[in-house]
Structure 1
Amino acid sequence: MRAIEIKKFGGPEVLEVAEVPEPVGGPGQTLVEVSAAGVNYADLLRAEGAYGTGEPPFVPGMEVVGRDPSGRRVVALPLEGGGYAERAVVSADDTVEVPDGVDDGQALALLVQGLTAWHLLRTSARIRAGESVVVNAAAGGVGSLAVQLARGFGAGRVIATASTEDKRALALERGADAAVGGDPEGYAGRVREANLGRPVDIVLDANGGAALPAALEALAPFGRLVTYGDSSREGRAPVDPGALAERNLTVSAFWLGPALSLPGVFREPLAELLAMTAEGRLRPLAGSGYRLEDARRAFEDMAARRTTGKVFLRV
């Protein structure tokens, strides 16, 4: 079967179209005929060898949508990757049916990115009605969903940050009350001004680096900062526990992968997100769809932040 295979660690140049053996499912597993595969920032890290998930050669890809042997259209997380291919092995118990009216790009946006946005707000930040929420990188896959979910979960004011005017306009169109630049310099002042002069209750951040102390400066007493990535590549920012205690701030981190085995983490939130989408209450941003053969360009565009919404490969 056709697939994208990585034979050595490196940048986008290591992604190659190849003929590989068809995977074979074991007990409790099933084979999905893949119609589209999601592309995530974690896939870039894995290609570089920075994700600690085995040596080459391997087929990347942690999200697929397609048909199971019964003909149902499902979304699933392939076992040990393998999504950038015509067929992928998944756990039979971890396939979720896609409702009518939800297209491939939308369904894929709700897997890693939708579930992450849901848990950032519900599980980590424990959002309460009326609270103000800042979503950094608000035009991205997680960010564009977090903006909408924050509004749906009762946030009093939703503030988006993004790097360009077009991306800020997109965040406003998705339901943010205000959108400002996300550069760490002057961040706290811009965010407080967007929150009508007040500090904010929650900040969701995937940038890392200098964005973290800037976000802490913007928080109100008992505010919560949830970090879920380090796209800045600046390394880990130090956090002073004493400074946190002065305003009773909380810093937490979320990573979907280690949480997936826990009860209530996967099927129930995903079914809720799919239903919200089918009903029109949630609009996942199905952004750039690339041919399987163009996986290298998809990686290049994502690394250069030229993409918006969910990036995926049409298989």
Structure 2
Amino acid sequence: MKAIVINEFGGPEVLKIVNLDTPSISTNQLLIRVEATSVNFADIQTRQGTYHAAGKPPIIPGLDAAGIIEAVGSDVKGFKVGQRVIAFPKTGSYSEYITADENLTFAIPNNVDFRTAAASPVVAFTAYKLLADVGRVQPGETVLIHAAAGGVGTTAIQLAKILGASCVIGIVGSENKVSTAIEAGADHVICYEKDEFAPKVNELTNGKGADVILDSISGKVTEKSLDCLAMYGRLVNFGNASGDFGQFITKDLHASCRAVLGFSLGTTRNNRPELLREPAKWLMSYLAEGRLNMKVGKSFKMEEAAEAHRLVESRKSTGKVLLEMNK
């Protein structure tokens, strides 16, 4: 089989296509022929050697995939050969074949195509957990989403509305991303190139602030987010794309009954995979019903993985970027 392998950390040029043996499966695993896989910012960090779960080269990057089951282990009960699935693989997804544990594999509804399915696992599972379980969004609340034009951002905007938020405010880094966040359903979009976001959020909420804030940027963005977090609000950090680390003063939390929370989908997949079963049920039904629309910004051939990385790393992409194996 063909796969993209990182033999040394570095720039996009270290992504090389190599021929490898098709992997074997254990009794509780499935062998899946990959149709498409998404490109996530964690893949950039893996390539650079800065992702916390990257390991050491040689590495096949990639966190999720959509494809068709080619073989099932003897202990697998819920799947069969030929079934269409999404999965979080054991050892990377930039590959023609992957292996995945049964409890990290989920059936694709019949009316959902592979592109939509491949765009959904990391961003949709992350967004759902951030909003429903960690941020505990309640009907009528205001949700603020940083990086609102990206894969998680455009998905979280939609899910916030599905879960009952009355107002969703998106923050984007450039004017050309405003329309993407609006198309996803944001009620207001703030471009931090033009405006300081915290005063603007407070103005939009009549001084109350946002009840739930999703922050994948960290650093100064986290610190400024506390300036527009409502009483009893929840700030959920799930990344540090800025490369910096924010700080806060403890009394700014307890006096206002506010909370700063953290979430990692990777940690959850590795340590508490059972926590993804319930989100999968809801997310697959939302996709099947057309209530959740996955925004695919651009797709590339497997051989164009370096180009895909350059696009994501430039922060000029919107929606999800995909690698399609049969494109």
Alignment coverage as a number of residue pairs? 313
**Distance in 2 between residues matched to 1:145 and 1:220, nearest whole Å:** 23
Following TM superposition, by how much is the alpha carbon of 1:263 offset from its aligned partner in structure 2, in angstroms?
Answer: 6.2
Cα deviation for residue 100 of structure 1 reads 2.3
Q: Which amino acid aligns with 2:64?
A: E
Q: Tell which deviates more after alignment, 286-295 or 193-202.
A: 193-202
Once the 2 structures are TM-superposed, how far is the Cα of residue 184 of structure 1 from its aligned partner? 10
Give the aligned partner of residue 66 of structure 1: 67
Q: Which residue of 1 aligns with 2:104?
A: 94
Structure-2-length-normalised TM-score: 0.91
- Give the CA deviation at 1:115: 0.5
Q: CA-to-partner distance for each residue in 1:245-291, whole Å, 9 max, x for gaps?
A: 33222111110122234264222212311211111111111221111
TM-score for both structures, normalised by structure 1 = 0.94
1:188 corresponds, among 198, 213, 235, to 198
Query: Partner of 1:33 in structure 2?
Result: 33
> Distance between the aligned counterparts of 1:264 and 1:175, measured in 2?
30
Gap runs ≥5 in structure 2: 71-80
Match of 2:150 in 1: 140
Quick one: which amino acid aligns to residue 252 of structure 2? A
Counterpart amino acid of 1:253? G
Distance 1:212 1:242, change over 3 A: same
AA matched with 1:179: V
Shift of 1:197: 4.7
Identical pairs, percent: 37
Alignment-derived partner of residue 316 in structure 2: 306
Q: State whether residues 105 and 287 of structure 1, in contact with CA within 8 Å, keep that contact through their aligned partners in structure 2.
A: no
Q: For 1:210, give the aligned amino acid.
A: K
Listed as ranges, the matches of 1:231-242 within 5 Å are 231-233=241-243, 235-242=244-251
Alignment of 1:83-162 (within 5 A): 83-162=93-172
AA paired with 1:62? L
Aligned to 1:56: 57
* Alignment correspondent of 2:289: 279
Say whether residues 1:254 and 2:255 are aligned partners: no
Letter aligned with residue 31 of structure 1: L
**Could you tell which deviates more after superposition, 91-100 or 148-157?**
91-100
Decide which moves more: 295-304 or 87-96. 87-96
- Deviation of 1:196 after TM superposition, in Å, equals 4.6
Higher mean displacement: 203-212 or 236-245: 236-245
CA distance in 1, matches of 2:175, 2:56: 40
Structure 1: distance between partners of 2:95 and 2:125: 23
Q: Does 1:76 align with 2:63?
A: no
Correspondence 1:220 to 2:230: yes
Structure 1 spans left out of the alignment, 5+ residues: none
**Contact (CA 8 Å) 2:60, 2:91: kept in 1 or not?**
no
Question: Offset of 1:163 from its aligned partner?
Answer: 1.7
1:36–1:64 CA contact under 8 A, matched in 2: yes
Query: How many Å separate the matches in 2 of 1:258 and 1:232?
Result: 20
Query: CA offset at residue 92 of structure 1?
Result: 3.0
CA RMSD of aligned residues (A): 1.7
Alignment-mate amino acid for residue 182 of structure 1: Y
Kept in 1: contact 2:103–2:274 (CA 8 A): no
Structure 1 Cα separation of the partners of residues 54 and 153 of structure 2: 26
- Describe the superposition over 1:70-106 as per-residue Cα deviations: whole angstroms up to 9, x where unpaired: 111110011132x111111111343211112322232
Counterpart-to-counterpart distance in 2, 1:287 and 1:25: 33
Alpha-carbon distance, 1:107 to partner:
1.2
For 1:72, the aligned partner's letter is Q
